[in-house]
Amino acid sequence: MKRISILGATGSIGQSTVDLIARAPEAYAVEAMTGGRNIALLAQDARRLGARIAVTAHDDLLDDLRAALAGSGVEAAAGRAALLEAAARPVDWVMSAIVGSAGLEPGLAAVDTGATLALANKESLVTAGPILLDHGRRAGATILPVDSEHSGIFQALRGEDMASVERVIITASGGPFRDRSREDLASVTVEEALQHPSWSMGQRITIDSASMFNKAMEMIETKEFFGIEAERIEAVIHPQSIIHALVGHCDGGMIAHMGAPDMRHAIGYALHWPERRDLPVERLDLVALGALSFAKACPKRFRALGLARQVMDQGGLSGAVFNAAKERALDHFLAGRASFLQMDDLVAGALDRMMGREGFDRVEMTLETVSHADQVTRQAVDDMIRVAAD
């Protein structure tokens, strides 16, 4: 029986994970499930999967969680310390699906136990990739990518010699605005940005897909996870989201990973790795698909991609700055304080300010400096918003 925990169980990735576990309850012993504000769903699924403990990240919701779990035998806990304690419980496999840089420390706590970490939380790699991978190495933990493109690369690389890899291409749907000019995007709304053409995902990543910050993060994630040089990493627009990634070899051959846009494939692959087992995902009908198309992902049109190149070249704390600025810019867009295109300006401005004027380019990467960079970058973005509003 595999002992597992699910961090971010109430989210989109968390729910797909719950779905897979609930299909074979006899195969799993669920230790911890964590969530945020969605107490009803957390309690319902913790009961359903027979978890030992359910944790909400919010102290003020402890009473609600206790009430929702009454009589179930599932322990209830709340707050950041409880979340970290739950993540550090010894299990075989942990799903890291908290959204944002809030997922970094719980992921670290899990790998420190030597567990296999199924990593959906791309922000950990963008913000502090070398730290996470180093913790994994020291603890003898396996970290498996869950992001669809990175699961695709991982699968395409299986049995291959990294020395023969010439390039890695990740695909981007292009989001709901892929056919619109940049000028046309000045006044797009949150509702419009939430209309993803192919994937059903959480609110934040969906908007990151529309702004192309998701793909920018994924380029950095590719460099960090696979140790591939920036020049060998490309993103290409592929509206059908059927091919997720391609690995090009020195002999001209390319291995592509294809599948229906359903995250249960990548989650299930990480759950059963190194085996492959049946998964409840749609099988592709190539004839019905008819054609797959590709287009250039222009960095002038999608500024986030150019910023990703800047981060990959700069390294160090630039990933932490980039991610924090992107997260805060998104908060402002969601709250109606920043326009869609202003998110690009805020992230570019934060990188210039923090990695230039504030001297973060000279600071060594540690967990403390990453956390400091994250905090002050968010303040810098807030300052920029205030100045823009005056």
Ligand X SMILES: NC(=O)C1=CN([C@@H]2O[C@H](COP(=O)(O)OP(=O)(O)OC[C@H]3O[C@@H](n4cnc5c(N)ncnc54)[C@H](OP(=O)(O)O)[C@@H]3O)[C@@H](O)[C@H]2O)C=CC1
Residue ranges in contact with Mn ion by CB under 5 A: 147-149
Question: What would you measure as the largest C-alpha separation in the chain, in angstroms?
Answer: 62
Are the C-beta atoms of 268 and 279 separated by less than 8 Å?
Answer: yes
> Which amino acid is it at 381?
V
The annotation status of 2 as a binding-site residue, yes or no, is no
Q: For residue 44, give the nearest of 69, 66, 8 by alpha carbon.
A: 69
In the complex, minimum distance from the CB of residue 81 to Mn ion, in angstroms, rounded to a whole number: 31
In the complex, minimum distance from the CB of residue 338 to ligand X, in angstroms, rounded to a whole number: 20
Interactions with ligand DXP, residue window 181-200 (CB under 6 A): 199
Interactions with ligand X, residue window 20-39 (CB under 6 A): 35-38
- DSSP collapsed to 3 states, the chain: CEEEEEECCCCHHHHHHHHHHHCCHHHEEEEEEEECCCHHHHHHHHHHHCCCEEEECCHHHHHHHHHHHCCCCCEEEECHHHHHHHHCCCCCEEEECCCCHHHHHHHHHHHHCCCEEEECCHHHHHHHHHHHHHHHHHHCCCEEECCHHHHHHHHHHCCCCHHHEEEEEEEECCCCCCCCCCHHHCCCCHHHHCCCCCCCCCHHHHHHHHHCHHHHHHHHHHHHHHCCCHHHEEEEECCCCCEEEEEEECCCCEEEEECCCCCHHHHHHHHHCCCCCCCCCCCCCHHHHCCCCCEECCCCCCHHHHHHHHHHHHCCCHHHHHHHHHHHHHHHHHCCCCCCCHHHHHHHHHHHHHHHHCCHHHCCCCHHHHHHHHHHHHHHHHHHHHHHHC
The annotation status of 121 as a binding-site residue, yes or no, is yes
Interactions with ligand X, residue window 100-119 (CB under 6 A): 102
- Interface with ligand X includes 57 (CB under 6 A)? yes
Are the C-beta atoms of 197 and 175 separated by less than 8 Å?
Answer: yes
In the complex, minimum distance from the CB of residue 57 to ligand X, in angstroms, rounded to a whole number: 3
- Interface with ligand X includes 202 (CB under 6 A)? yes
- Interface with ligand DXP includes 211 (CB under 6 A)? no
- Interface with ligand DXP includes 16 (CB under 6 A)? no
87 vs 246, which CB is nearer to ligand X? 87
d(C-alpha 38, C-alpha 295), whole Å = 39
Decide which of ligand DXP, ligand X, Mn ion, none touches 102; Cβ closer than 5 to 8 Å per partner kind.
ligand X
Give the per-residue contact string, 134-173, with ligand DXP (x = CB under 6 A; - = no): -------------xxx----------------------xx
In the complex, minimum distance from the CB of residue 112 to ligand DXP, in angstroms, rounded to a whole number: 26
Cα-Cα end-to-end distance for the chain: 60
In the complex, minimum distance from the CB of residue 27 to ligand DXP, in angstroms, rounded to a whole number: 25
Which residue in 215, 257, 353, 378 binds ligand DXP (CB under 6 A)?
215
Which residue's Cβ has the minimum distance to ligand X? 11
Decide which of ligand DXP, Mn ion, ligand X, none touches 97; Cβ closer than 5 to 8 Å per partner kind.
ligand X
Interactions with ligand DXP, residue window 263-302 (CB under 6 A): 263
Q: For residue 317, give the nearest of 349, 353, 362 by alpha carbon.
A: 362
d(C-alpha 279, C-alpha 266), whole Å = 10
In the complex, minimum distance from the CB of residue 263 to ligand X, in angstroms, rounded to a whole number: 4
The annotation status of 123 as a binding-site residue, yes or no, is yes
64 vs 149, which CB is nearer to Mn ion? 149
Binding region for ligand X (CB under 6 A) out of 19-27, 161-169, 194-202, 240-248? 194-202
- Interface with ligand DXP includes 17 (CB under 6 A)? no
The annotation status of 196 as a binding-site residue, yes or no, is yes
Decide which of ligand DXP, ligand X, Mn ion, none touches 202; Cβ closer than 5 to 8 Å per partner kind.
ligand X
In the complex, minimum distance from the CB of residue 317 to ligand X, in angstroms, rounded to a whole number: 20
101 vs 148, which CB is nearer to Mn ion? 148
Binding residues for Mn(2+): 147, 149, 218
Binding residues for NADPH: 10-13, 36-38, 121, 123, 202
Footprint of ligand X (CB under 6 A): 8-14, 35-38, 57, 97-99, 102, 120-123, 147, 199, 201-205, 263
Footprint of ligand DXP (CB under 6 A): 147-149, 172-173, 175, 199, 205, 209, 214-215, 263
